[in-house]
Amino acid sequence: MRLIIISALMLLALSGCSSDRTAINTAQTLVMESSVLSAGITTDEPTIREVNGQQRASTTLFNQQDKPVSVNWRFYWYDEKGLEILPFERPQTVVVPANGKAEVASQNGNLSAGKVRLYLYL
């Protein structure tokens, strides 16, 4: 009985060490809270391109409602290894006009910035 309990504890301890639950999935380039979609806002994943020696990420938000919608947004920048690049960008707000569109963009001077994630919330 004691052997079974010890084996179970060892298995439990090893299984806890086997996965890193703090890892960030940098392949996910867009995080949109459900309230944003419910408000009629849609978008595509952000694109990255080099502009004047800096990395620039951008996307367009589309409003499918008959009223303007205020959307909060923030870009998170990562290097190719998935490490977040400092300094952190402050959250910003854009008003997407009724049945219209608005572009959100971010620039980063760190040329190792190769991945980005856009977080949208109301």
Q: Does 93 fall in a domain? A: yes
Owning domain of residue 46: 27-121
pLDDT of residue 16: 53
Q: Does 10 fall in a domain? A: no
Q: Does 66 fall in a domain? A: yes
Local structure of residue 2 (DSSP, 8 states) = H
Q: How far is 75 from 13, CA to CA, in rounded Å?
A: 37
Q: Does 110 fall in a domain? A: yes
Residues 6+ apart with CB under 8 A from 12: none
Q: Does 68 fall in a domain? A: yes
- How many domains are there within the chain? 1
Cis before 87 (ω within 30): yes
Residues 6+ apart with CB under 8 A from 50: 56
How deeply is 104 buried, as exposed, middle or buried, from its count of CB atoms within 10 A (0-12, 13-18, 19+)?
A: buried
Q: How far is 54 from 52, CA to CA, in rounded Å?
A: 6
pLDDT in tens, the chain (122 residues): 665 665 555 655 555 554 444 456 667 899 999 999 999 999 999 999 999 889 999 999 999 999 999 999 999 999 988 899 988 889 999 999 999 999 999 999 888 888 999 999 99
CATH number at residue 111: 2.60.40.3230
